[in-house]
C-alpha cells in the first residue's frame, strides 16, 4: 500500500509544469483562480532549496465529460537535485464508475519507484450505503484486505478490518468510530480499537476549518473515518477522503499535539490559491472550468 500524502500534501496537474518552474510574485503562473474545479497542485519545499530546485510533488486531475474524476496522477521529486535524478516516484490512480454513478466503484493504482526501478499494481473495490463508504476491499498479492463500516447511529460506526493472507490465515480487528460534525465539517473523530489481548486503544483527531469553500470536496470519497488511514484498506488518498464543506486549518491528535497547521491565500471567489504548512511546504492550487 502506498500513501500518497502525509497530512495535507496536495494534488497537482503536470500540464507542462517541471521542477524548473519559478515563482512570480507569489504565484507560479498568471493563471485564473475564478474557475471552480481543481486541475493541479504544485508542492514546493521552501525550507532550504532554491527556486527551480524546490519542487517536491506535482499532481494532475483529469475528468470525464460528466465532471467525474477519472485520473489522479502524482509525480514525486527529490528537491535540490537536478537532471534525471530529480524524479523519485510516479503514481497514477484511475477511477472507474458504474453507469451514471458519481462515486467510483473501483480504483486502479500504478506506483513506480523510479529510483528503485520497481512498479506495483493495486486494485481497490468500493461499495456505499447512504452516500458513505460501506466496504473498501483491496487486493495486493498475496493479501486481500477488507474494511467494513456498519452504521450504528447517525454519527457512530462499527468497523471490521480483515486481512486474508495468501497462506489461508485471517486477522480481524474490530473498532468503533464516533464522529462530531459542525456546519458540514467533521471536527472530531474518535477511534476505539479492540486489542486482541483485551482492552481498548483510543485515538482522536480534532480539526479546525476556515469558512471558505473546499475545492476537493466534490472529488473526495466519503469515508466514515477519514483521519485514520488504517481503515483505508487499499488505495487511500488522505486529502481525498474527507468531504468537508470548508478547508482544514489544523489537526490536533489525542495528546494535544498539532500534527497539521495550514495558512491560506484565497482567490477572488474564496477558493484556496496558495497554502503554507508549518514544515516549510507551499502548495499552489490551479483550477479549470469543466
Domain segments of the chain as ranges: 37-288
| CA atoms of 88 and 5, how far apart (whole Å) | 14
Could you list the pLDDT tens digit for every one of the 290 residues in the chain?
A: 333 343 333 333 222 233 334 333 333 443 444 457 999 999 999 888 888 888 999 999 999 999 999 999 999 998 888 888 888 999 999 999 999 999 999 999 999 998 888 998 888 999 999 999 999 998 777 778 899 999 999 999 999 988 887 666 788 889 999 999 999 999 999 999 888 778 899 999 999 999 999 999 999 999 998 887 666 655 656 668 889 999 999 999 999 999 999 999 999 889 999 999 999 999 999 998 88
Is omega for the bond preceding 191 within 30 degrees of 0, making it cis?
no
What is the model's pLDDT at position 165?
A: 75
Per-residue burial over 61-89, b if 16 or more Cβ lie within 10 Å, else e, is bebeeeebbbebbbbbbbbeeeeeebbbb
Name residue, grid cell 490536533.
Answer: 252
| CA atoms of 120 and 130, how far apart (whole Å) | 33
C-alpha cell at 262: 495550514
What is the model's pLDDT at position 61?
A: 95
| CA atoms of 151 and 245, how far apart (whole Å) | 22
Q: Which fold has domain 37-288?
A: Porin (2.40.160)
Q: Is the pTM of this model over 0.85?
A: no
Cα 65–Cα 98–Cα 144 angle in degrees, nearest 5: 125
C-alpha cell at 210: 476556515
| CA atoms of 242 and 188, how far apart (whole Å) | 12
| CA atoms of 283 and 8, how far apart (whole Å) | 9
Amino acid at each position: 500500500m502506498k500513501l500518497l500524502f502525509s497530512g495535507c500534501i496536495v494534488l497537482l496537474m503536470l500540464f507542462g509544469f517541471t521542477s524548473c518552474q519559478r515563482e512570480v510574485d507569489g504565484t507560479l503562473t498568471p493563471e485564473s483562480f475564478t474557475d471552480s474545479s481543481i486541475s493541479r497542485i504544485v508542492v514546493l519545499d521552501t525550507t532550504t532549496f532554491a527556486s527551480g530546485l524546490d519542487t517536491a510533488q506535482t499532481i494532475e486531475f483529469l475528468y470525464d465529460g460528466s465532471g467525474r474524476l477519472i485520473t489522479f496522477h502524482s509525480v514525486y521529486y527529490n528537491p535540490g537535485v537536478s537532471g534525471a535524478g530529480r524524479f523519485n516516484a510516479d503514481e497514477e490512480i484511475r477511477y472507474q464508475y458504474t453507469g451514471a454513478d458519481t462515486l467510483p466503484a473501483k480504483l486502479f493504482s500504478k506506483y513506480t519507484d523510479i529510483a528503485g526501478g520497481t512498479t506495483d499494481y493495486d486494485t481497490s473495490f468500493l461499495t456505499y450505503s447512504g452516500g458513505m463508504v460501506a466496504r473498501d476491499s483491496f487486493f495486493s498479492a498475496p493479501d486481500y484486505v477488507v474494511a467494513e463500516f456498519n452504521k450504528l447511529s447517525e454519527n457512530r460506526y462499527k468497523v471490521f478490518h480483515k486481512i486474508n493472507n495468501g497462506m489461508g490465515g485471517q486477522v480481524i480487528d474490530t473498532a468503533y468510530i464516533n464522529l462530531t460534525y459542525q456546519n458540514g465539517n467533521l471536527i472530531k473523530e474518535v477511534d476505539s480499537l479492540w486489542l486482541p489481548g483485551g482492552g481498548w486503544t483510543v485515538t482522536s483527531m480534532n480539526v479546525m476549518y476556515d469558512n471558505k469553500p473546499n475545492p476537493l470536496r466534490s472529488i473526495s470519497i466519503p469515508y466514515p473515518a477519514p483521519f485514520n488511514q488504517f481503515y483505508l484498506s487499499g488505495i487511500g488518498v488522505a486529502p481525498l477522503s474527507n468531504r468537508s464543506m470548508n478547508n482544514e486549518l489544523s489537526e490536533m491528535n489525542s495528546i494535544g499535539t498539532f500534527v497539521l497547521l495550514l495558512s491560506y491565500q484565497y482567490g477572488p471567489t474564496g477558493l484556496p490559491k496558495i497554502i503554507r504548512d508549518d514544515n516549510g511546504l507551499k502548495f499552489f492550487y490551479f483550477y479549470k472550468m469543466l
